[in-house]
């Protein structure tokens, strides 16, 4: 099995754990913005420390990246901030597993963004596998009361689709940033992009909360025992995604990352006592088939 596949599977597992911890932060009195900020606050210094360690161990000088690196890194960072905000807000609308499923509408959008922005297309077989996964998401996204009540454009659907689009844009930004680092080692390129993007995110979120939600930064810091764990899992999961992006087309990485949905089902059942409906199970089966297809054709 290729390295990018193993790294992506691990990153999805860690990200599921991070979302589980973030959902619990809402019970600590933190706002959606505070819960989102916690993901970046403690992750930034860890990512910078990792980059400093790699620089110390690398005997060869590494040239500073150009403007395209910073544009891609900030684009990815901003997209992830808003997408995470939407995802945390989504947890109040539907079950945990279904909420995560909504964000997986990103896969087709990533394929389109990848072709348009980076010039990296996917094969016909790869596109078919992605579309099978989208069909699974559509089945899962049907509200318990059906489409008639509130229509398909209900609040949960809109939040999920928006989060998916922004996560997709974020993936393209991060893939682009790793390609702009002039180093042959994928771990180094991933860590450099992660450190810069996460630092930008922490600063941007601190300024936003200071303006829109005075006192929330202090509440996040006061809850450091819970929020620090979110940061640790966040930086580990992100490092996995960045390494995968450094090794493979972002469309394939994010499509395989749909395995996170299957992980979230286990979390939903074991920790939140939420049971999937038959239609959701059918959608999950399609997603599993899609994931298998991606591994075979990528």
d(CA 150, CA 163): 20
Provide the number of structural domains found in the chain: 1
Range of the domain at 275: 3-297
Asked if 39 and 22 touch (Cβ cutoff 8 Å), the reply is yes
As averages over each run of 10 residues, the pLDDT of the chain (298 residues) reads 89 82 69 80 91 88 90 94 79 61 74 86 87 78 56 68 88 95 92 95 93 91 81 88 94 85 73 73 83 81
Query: In the prediction, which pLDDT does 188 show?
Result: 94
Query: In the prediction, which pLDDT does 149 show?
Result: 47
Asked if 197 and 74 touch (Cβ cutoff 8 Å), the reply is yes
Query: In the prediction, which pLDDT does 143 show?
Result: 59
d(CA 277, CA 281): 6
Query: Within a 13 Å sphere around the CA of 41, how many CA atoms are in the beta-carbon half?
Result: 25
Q: Please count the other Cβ atoms lying within 10 Å of the Cβ belonging to residue 275.
A: 12
Exposure string of 139-168, with b = 16+ CB inside 10 Å and e = fewer, is bbbbbeeeeeeeeeebebbebbbbbbbbbb
Q: Please count the other Cβ atoms lying within 10 Å of the Cβ belonging to residue 203.
A: 13
d(CA 159, CA 82): 11
Asked if 199 and 9 touch (Cβ cutoff 8 Å), the reply is no
Query: In the prediction, which pLDDT does 239 show?
Result: 93
- 95 three-state secondary structure: coil
Asked if 276 and 97 touch (Cβ cutoff 8 Å), the reply is yes
124, exposed or middle or buried, with CB in 10 Å at 0-12, 13-18, 19+? Answer: exposed
């Amino acid at each position: 099995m290729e390295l990018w596949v193993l790294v992506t599977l691990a990153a999805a597992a860690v990200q599921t754990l991070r979302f589980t911890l973030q959902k619990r932060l809402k019970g600590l009195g933190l706002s959606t913005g505070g819960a989102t900020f916690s993901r970046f606050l403690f992750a930034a210094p860890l990512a910078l420390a990792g980059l400093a360690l790699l620089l110390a161990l690398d005997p060869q000088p590494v040239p500073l990246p150009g403007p395209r690196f910073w544009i891609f890194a900030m684009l990815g960072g901003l997209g992830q901030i808003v997408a995470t905000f939407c995802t945390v807000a989504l947890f109040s609308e539907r079950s945990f597993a279904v909420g995560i499923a909504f964000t997986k509408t990103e896969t087709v959008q990533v394929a389109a963004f990848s072709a348009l922005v980076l010039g990296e297309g996917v094969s016909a077989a790869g596109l078919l596998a992605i579309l099978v996964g989208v069909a699974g998401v559509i089945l899962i996204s049907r509200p318990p009361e059906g489409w008639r009540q509130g229509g398909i454009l209900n609040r949960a659907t809109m939040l999920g689709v928006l989060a998916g689009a922004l996560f997709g844009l974020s993936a393209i930004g991060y893939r682009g940033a790793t390609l702009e680092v002039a180093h042959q080692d994928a771990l180094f390129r991933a860590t450099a992009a992660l450190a810069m993007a996460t630092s930008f995110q922490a600063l941007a979120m601190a300024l936003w909360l200071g303006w829109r939600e005075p006192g929330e930064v202090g509440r996040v810091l006061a809850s450091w025992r819970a929020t620090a764990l979110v940061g640790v899992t966040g930086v580990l999961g992100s490092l996995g995604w960045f390494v995968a992006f450094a090794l493979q087309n972002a469309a394939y990485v994010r499509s395989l990352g749909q395995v996170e949905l299957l992980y979230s089902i286990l979390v939903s059942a074991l920790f939140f006592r939420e049971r999937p409906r038959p239609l959701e199970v059918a959608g999950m089966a399609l997603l599993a088939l899609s994931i298998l297809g991606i591994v075979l054709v990528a």
